[in-house]
Amino acid sequence: MEKFVVNGGKPLFGEVNISGAKNAAVAIIPAVILCDEPCQIENIPNISDVSLISRILQQMGAQVRRINKSSLYIDPTHISTHSATTELVRGMRASYYLLGALLGRCGKAQVALPGGCNFGVRPIDQHLKGFEAMGAVTQLVDGAIIEADADNLHGEHIYLDVVSVGATMNIMLAASKAEGMTIIENAAREPHIVDLANFLNSMGADVRGAGTDVIKIRGVKYLHGITYSIIPDQIEAGTYMCAAAATRGCITVNNITPKHLESITAKLREMGVVITEYDEAIKIDATKNPLKRCNIKTMPHPGFPTDCQPQFAALLVSVPGTSIINENVWDNRYQYVSELVRMGAHISVEGRLAIIEGGSPLTAAPVKATDLRAGAAMIIAALEINGVTEISSIQYIERGYEDVIEKFRALGADIKKVYYAGDNEDELRA
């Protein structure tokens, strides 16, 4: 068993470099299945989700080789199966992108239902609606495996009943090699959707309108190999920005796209944090002004991202006054609240609302990461506390944050990973 031990109470100062976007990587790597030649993907985050999807592709027959810490070489030409049903697949939320990729490549797909973070129902009905409109017959087998089979995968006009990032990207994958044109209306607009479209287009696909609510994909017969660099991770950047504000520090976040962070920087500015933007960096200074309360409502992009909601909750518990969070994306994303309450936070949850009475000092307590972003929130809260906090279930955090210990240490945090078994405890060296 492993856990993080944080000795908090110190403001963060310095610079941090942001890795490639997890949410882009876990779709772009499966997208290589569609390619007829090898590809090299750069600026890959070195996280467990990337390792997992790489191993899944290897199980399917692809050659996957790590060139360096942030680059992968993938040769999909030897994939001869349309099936991905192993335990590795079940353990990963984003494994559903294999459906669209295999359907586009083989005309059929058999994929185990995904796992990953457990903070609400994760329906894929909009994904299946899109595949069925394009001529596929889908069915659930034994309650655990989705099968899709299309004699003739063809373009179609698809309207998504709800804005869904996963469905938008999955349909884009299948449509890239389908016959004719597919039009997705009410499409999601997140930066990683634009990144996936840019990746596909670089290989020779014809995807237009990504970043708007109408995306048009004209299917092509052949996709050629390329070298492609993934965009920076806006949520990782937002996490370090929150941590700097929560500790009343001052940091510079490098290797980012400031436009992708507009909803996050707007809220921090509203709270009194001084923000300075550069071409590919942003400075967060929380040393100049007392922080003020604020309200947050999560929305699909370009609204405030649900993936930064727990981190802001950890920040707002340190700010005097009543702040209200309105979670509009996931039904059950407040599981982390009980962990913050364990640390002394005053938070009440009423349906989709979390009401935070901020300003009371937190106290150290053993807590756990209930999901990826909740784990990041635990680190932020621990950094605020004058005392030692132990965080367990850190496998969730390592799903999506590269070198999280090293990056926080470089900013002056006292944080380490330890191995524990019974009463024995040893620090794990990087």
pLDDT digits (tens, 9 = 90+) for 139-187: 988 888 999 999 999 999 999 999 999 999 999 999 999 999 999 999 9
Taking residues 175-204, what's their average pLDDT?
98
Q: Based on the number of CB atoms within 10 Å of its own CB, is 186 exposed (0-12), middle (13-18) or buried (19 or more)?
A: middle
> Mind listing the pLDDT tens digit for each residue in 324-336?
999 998 878 899 9
Place of tokens 């899944």: 56
| Confidence at residue 422, expressed as pLDDT on a 0 to 100 scale | 57
What would the mean pLDDT of 25-34 be, rounded to a whole number?
98
pLDDT at 116 over 70: no
Which amino acid, residue 391? I
Catalytic residue among 117, 242, 294, 308: 117
Is the pLDDT assigned to residue 277 strictly greater than 80? Answer: yes
DSSP string, 187-239: ----HHHHHHHHHHHHTT-EEE-BTBSEEEEE--S-----EEEPPB-HHHHHH
Band (pLDDT 50/70/90 cuts) for residue 117 is very low
Q: How far is CA 12 from CA 65, 206, 303, 380, in A?
A: 36, 45, 27, 11
0.85 surpassed by pTM = yes
On whether the CB atoms of residues 128 and 83 are closer than 8 A, the answer is no
Question: What are the pLDDT digits (tens) for 281-314?
Answer: 999 999 999 999 999 999 999 999 999 999 999 9
Of the CATH numbers 3.40.630.30, 3.30.700.30, 3.65.10.10, 2.40.37.10, which one belongs to the domain with range 2-19+232-428?
A: 3.65.10.10
Residue by residue, what is the 3-state secondary structure of 131-176?
Answer: HHHCCCEEEEECCCEEEEECCCCECCEEECCCCCHHHHHHHHHHHC
The CATH fold of domain 22-229: UDP-n-acetylglucosamine1-carboxyvinyl-transferase; Chain (3.65.10)
Position 425 scores a pLDDT of: 58
Residue 117 appears among annotated catalytic residues = yes
| Residue environment code for 334-359, b if the CB has 16+ CB neighbours within 10 A, otherwise e | bbbbebbbebebebeeeebebebbbe
Q: What is the dihedral of CA 295, 296, 297, 301, to 10 degrees?
A: 140
Residue extents of the structural domains in the chain? 2-19+232-428, 22-229
Binding residues for phosphoenolpyruvate: 22-23
Sign of the alpha-carbon dihedral angle for 393, 398, 401, 407? positive
